[in-house]
Structure 1
Amino acid sequence: MADTKPPVARFSAVKSWAGTRTPVIPDDGEGIIRRASLRAFAIEAHCVSVARFADFVAETGYLTEAERIGWSYVFRGLLSRPDSADVVGGYNKAGWWWAVSGASWKYPSGKGEPEAAPDHPVTQISWNDAQAFAEWAGGRLPSEVEWEHAARNGLEDRRYPWGDEEPDDDTILCNIWQGRFPDTNTCADGYYGTAPVDAFAPNEAGLHNTSGNVWEWTADRYRINSLKSAAKARNAQAKRDGDRVMKGGSFLCHSSYCWRYRIAARSGRAPDTAASHTGFRIVYD
């Protein structure tokens, strides 16, 4: 089996932690998550790569949910031949997410499209798939607080892993969208889709790509702490679907469309959902 396990960053136990900041997207439930006592933990320096996930599959014979279902969600811009793609449905009214037959971790844009690059983060992975891998690896998915604590290198308040400087089309600090979403991406950062797991400078703790590249699953259930009726409805739906928190944003994020590559930002999806911009990393007690 190939030695594809990345280094880890270690964090000591802390008595309490709270991410104090002004929420940018309060409807997502941003703000102080909660006060918590964190035990010492170690977190991998980058997301699980395609090569490492291939080791897992080779050893266990595991089939991901996308493989069992037979299709998954693909950003339309990733399709080299969109007219011939085996599209079985759409995901959003805007039309940039397509349900593509055969899309999986090995062929993230479907059969007939290029195989996933070994050194890129594995995608088309559901929360349930990530849980299965974590158990095999002897670790677990991070809690939302652990993920934020590590992305900030233990600091009290920080907008991005590198500080508060805003990345944009000229200041390249992470893998996000550059240009007018969803039709024009200048690829000023060098990538249209995912970048290698160790691309771009890490934070002080050594963690790569906690802003942009791929959304990362966490262990926590998704809930919005708000008394607004819209939040109550979203919470009820999230509870029915079993939604889990995702962090970090992805290569599709842009400040004009999805400003969720900030550390505080969050989203939630059902645990059986997979897509071409979603991966995960592992923590250890």
Structure 2
Amino acid sequence: MRCKMNQNIKWGILLSVTLILGACSGKSSAKKAPENETVPSCCQNVPSRFGSATQKEKQGMVHIPGGTFMMSGDNDQARADEFPKHKVEVSGFWMDIQEVTNAQFKEFVDATGYITVAEKKPDWEEMKKQLPPGTPKPDESVLVAASLVFNPPNHAVNVNGGPVWWNWVQGANWKQPEGPGSDLKNKENYPVVHVAWEDAMAYCKWAGKRLPTEAEWEYAARGGLSSEIYPWGNQNVDEGSVKANSWQGQFPNQNTGRDGFYASSPVKSFQPNAFGLYDMAGNVWEWCADWYDADYYKTVKDGVVNPQGPKTSYDPQDPTVPKRVTRGGSFLCNDAYCSGYRVAARMKSSSDTGLSHTGFRCVADISEN
């Protein structure tokens, strides 16, 4: 059956701000989104569980030594928002060796009673603040607890013609990743998905950790390499041995499954980089702490120490919606579309967006004790 984007799917995509896979190109005269640096209220009453970095070391983290690197794109696949190349110095920190799993997130939810964004009915009064003035309110059948689930067409499509491979599925969330009737059986060791930035922040606070800055994430992904394209070096993702979970074949309708997986894979399914970090390329996109600004690198082109990202968000493709950075690519990434598994590749999404290919990992500061 031909896959069509019906009105409900269009509204779901609009409300969840899901156009995060397109390349960021061009300029816009639109103003930057309003500054909003406060931590979401969802995190304010979440108790911390852990203490010092010494304790965290025993809980699946590795020490990333401080250093200096050149941040930005390394080949002709790099997009405009990846330039200019600039010098960045980062202090040492601890980083999870893997993406947060379903089992780990369940432990957090069981301990706190936390309810994710995807499990809540959208607040139209808040949503419309991020939409063009005059946008009509959608039907109540769309304003339901839901998330976006990958739904591949059965035929070739124009990948630049809009993301027709997403369905707004009522009842889809981290516990039911494909929607009602699905569950996490035998997926305890898979990365948790359908988590919004707010959800990731809440987990980090409970775990006594935080989200990585975009600079920390790229520095860690490079694993000590200087200007290589991928965490493993410069060999193309589809050449030689399988290196990451990505889309192999014609995106989005045909996946050869050469890597052994059609969708996400258990953490640690592929070789780690030189820092001992798994899945820094492919599997699921990972939230970073920073606001996304397409022009941010231009403001730090002369070099920067421990950058925390821009003060405001600016996406010329979607200027009314504040976005956060995601990094690392996912099982949907393919050279014909986004090549998001490159260490310098930048992507973005609104903080209240959850998708079936987005998760996160945590970092922690080095304790002085």
What TM-score, normalized to structure 2? 0.66
Deviates more, 1:179-188 or 1:133-142: 179-188
Provide the residue aligned with 2:96 in structure 1. Answer: 44
1:222 correspondence with 2:292: yes
The secondary structure found in structure 1 opposite 2:147 is strand
Matches within 5 A, 1:1-285: 6-14=59-67, 16-19=68-71, 21-22=74-75, 24-27=77-80, 29-32=81-84, 34-69=86-121, 70-77=145-152, 93-115=162-184, 117-168=187-238, 171-225=241-295, 235=315, 240-285=320-365
Query: In the TM superposition, what is the alpha-carbon distance from 1:24 to its structure 2 partner?
Result: 2.2
Are the aligned partners of 2:101 and 2:189 in contact in 1 as well (CA < 8 Å)?
Answer: yes
The secondary structure found in structure 1 opposite 2:168 is strand
Are the aligned partners of 1:23 and 1:31 in contact in 2 as well (CA < 8 Å)?
Answer: no
Which one has a bigger Cα radius of gyration?
A: 2
Distance in 1 (alpha carbons) for counterparts of 2:59 and 2:223: 18
Unpaired runs of at least 5, structure 2: 1-48, 50-55, 122-144, 154-160, 298-312
RMSD between superposed Cα atoms in Å: 2.7
Structure 2 CA distance for partners of 1:255 and 1:237, relative to 1, 3 Å: closer
Structure 2 CA distance for partners of 1:176 and 1:271, relative to 1, 3 Å: same
Structure 2 CA distance for partners of 1:126 and 1:94, relative to 1, 3 Å: closer
Distance in 1 (alpha carbons) for counterparts of 2:86 and 2:223: 18
Structure 2 CA distance for partners of 1:95 and 1:169, relative to 1, 3 Å: farther
Query: In the TM superposition, what is the alpha-carbon distance from 1:34 to its structure 2 partner?
Result: 4.5
Are the aligned partners of 1:18 and 1:32 in contact in 2 as well (CA < 8 Å)?
Answer: no
Provide the residue aligned with 1:82 in structure 2. Answer: none
Query: In the TM superposition, what is the alpha-carbon distance from 1:8 to its structure 2 partner?
Result: 1.6
Query: In the TM superposition, what is the alpha-carbon distance from 1:234 to its structure 2 partner?
Result: 5.6
Q: Which amino acid aligns with 2:228?
A: R
Bigger relative contact order (CA 8 A; separation at least 6): 2
Unpaired runs of at least 5, structure 1: 79-91, 228-232
Distance in 2 (alpha carbons) for counterparts of 1:94 and 1:44: 31
Matched pairs, number? 264
The secondary structure found in structure 1 opposite 2:71 is coil
Q: Which amino acid aligns with 1:75?
A: F
Structure 2 CA distance for partners of 1:6 and 1:215, relative to 1, 3 Å: farther
Distance in 1 (alpha carbons) for counterparts of 2:269 and 2:328: 15
Query: In the TM superposition, what is the alpha-carbon distance from 1:185 to its structure 2 partner?
Result: 1.1
Deviations 1:74-106 (A, max 9, x none): 00149xxxxxxxxxxxxx844210100000001
Are the aligned partners of 2:209 and 2:363 in contact in 1 as well (CA < 8 Å)?
Answer: yes
Are the aligned partners of 1:12 and 1:41 in contact in 2 as well (CA < 8 Å)?
Answer: yes
